[in-house]
């Protein structure tokens, strides 16, 4: 597995999912209501991104900018070590705010882990299952774009994708758009402006079952838990990239 791609997945997919955590989690909502802090992640050879937490929301900003805490990772491995729980960042700015990192920020990442690493007993709860599915679906789509743009096999498949916008979501309204142009992928929330293909789950339950590995995609399609339509070749190549996501997210 390519460490730079993994670092990009960790920053631009996993951390990005914190944006949606308050929708599902009371503790996250409470932290989001608190004082605003902006944490910048600076990863050598990978890129920079910020999380703005407070003022009623959590915002992921995929570039450098004004911040109150700046965490530096000399290279991808260092960031990946932090995500694996075996490494620590070097604070370049906000040394007095270590407490925030160990406190509210740490709580947020713990809560995200709670929803994204499901345990059988937790999955008995419908609200938990839905939160797990919604966050996992977003993480998978965001991760897929990073893998398509940076992983060796991902890039091969992305290069085969025709230009256009793909709707990936659920029938009850979770909409994500993957825009493809010149073999580069971008994902954003909401419906496409001009849809070229669609990949729509019957509901969040079905999306969760597939993402948790309880159901395979071929079965999902045959059982109409997952509908495909439109310019199918673009989906065919995208699915090859989606197939690489578990390697990185697991």
Partner 1 sequence: MQILDHSKSRELFARAVKVIPGGVYGHLGPAEGCFMPVSAYPLFSSKAQGAYFWDVDGNRYVDYMCAYGPNILGYGDPDVDAAALAQLKDGNCVTAPSAKMIELAELMVDTVAMADWAFFCKNGGDTTMFALMIARAATGRGKVVLTKGGYHGVAPWTQKSGHPGITPEDVANNLYVEYGDFEALERLFREHPGEIACFMSTPYYHPVFDDNRVAPEGYWQKVRALCDRHGVVLAIDDVRCGFRLDTAGSDKHYGFEADLMCFCKALANGWNVSCLCGKDSLKDAAGGVMYTGSYWLSAAPIAAAIACITKMRKIDAARICTEKGKKLTSGLAAAGKKHGFDLRISGEPAMWFMRIADDDTYELHQAWVAECVRRGVFFTNHHNLFMNTAMTDEDISFTLGVADEAFAALAKNGPAGAGKGR
Under the rule (CB under 8 A), what is the footprint of partner 1? 152-154, 156-157, 160, 171, 195-198, 200, 216-219, 221-224, 227-233, 240, 243
With residue 73 as reference, give the H or E element that holds it: strand 69-73
For residue 160, the minimal CB distance to partner 1 (Å) is 7
Indicate the residue among 119 and 194 with the shorter CB distance to partner 1.
194
Query: 166 has which bridge partners?
Result: 178, 197
Indicate the residue among 97 and 196 with the shorter CB distance to partner 1.
196
For residue 195, the minimal CB distance to partner 1 (Å) is 7
According to DSSP, the β-strands at 164-170 and 90-93 are unpaired
61, 242, 122, 31: CA torsion to nearest 10: 0
Give the distance from CA 17 to its chain's centroid.
Answer: 5
What's the distance, Cα to Cα, between the start and end of the chain in Å?
12
For residue 212, the minimal CB distance to partner 1 (Å) is 16
Q: Residue with structure tokens 């900018």?
A: 65
For residue 153, the minimal CB distance to partner 1 (Å) is 4
Indicate the residue among 90 and 232 with the shorter CB distance to partner 1.
232
Indicate the residue among 109 and 239 with the shorter CB distance to partner 1.
239
Indicate the residue among 69 and 249 with the shorter CB distance to partner 1.
249
Q: What are phi and psi of 157, to 5 degrees?
A: -75, -35
Distance CA 220, CA 222 (A): 6
For residue 152, the minimal CB distance to partner 1 (Å) is 8
């Amino acid at each position: 597995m390519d460490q730079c791609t993994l670092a990009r997945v960790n920053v631009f997919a996993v951390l990005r999912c914190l944006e949606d955590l308050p929708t599902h989690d009371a503790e996250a909502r409470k932290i989001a209501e608190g004082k605003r802090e902006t944490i910048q992640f600076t990863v050598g050879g990978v890129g920079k991104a910020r999380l703005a937490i407070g003022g009623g929301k959590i915002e992921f900003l995929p570039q450098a900018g004004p911040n109150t805490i700046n965490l530096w990772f000399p290279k991808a491995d260092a960031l990946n070590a932090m995500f694996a729980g075996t490494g620590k960042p070097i604070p370049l700015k906000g040394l007095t705010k270590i407490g925030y990192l160990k406190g509210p920020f740490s709580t947020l990442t713990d809560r995200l882990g709670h929803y994204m690493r499901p345990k059988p007993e937790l999955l008995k709860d419908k609200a938990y299952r839905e939160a797990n599915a919604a966050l996992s679906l977003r993480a998978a789509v965001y991760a897929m774009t990073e893998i398509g743009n940076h992983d060796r096999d991902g890039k091969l498949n992305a290069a085969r994708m025709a230009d256009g916008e793909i709707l990936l979501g659920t029938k009850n309204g979770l909409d994500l758009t993957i825009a493809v142009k010149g073999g580069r992928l971008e994902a954003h929330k909401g419906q496409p402006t001009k849809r070229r293909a669609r990949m729509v789950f019957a509901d969040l339950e079905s999306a969760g079952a597939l993402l948790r590995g309880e159901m395979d995609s071929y079965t999902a399609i045959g059982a109409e838990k997952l509908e495909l339509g439109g310019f199918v070749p673009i989906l065919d190549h995208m699915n090859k990239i989606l197939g690489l996501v578990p390697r990185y997210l697991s």
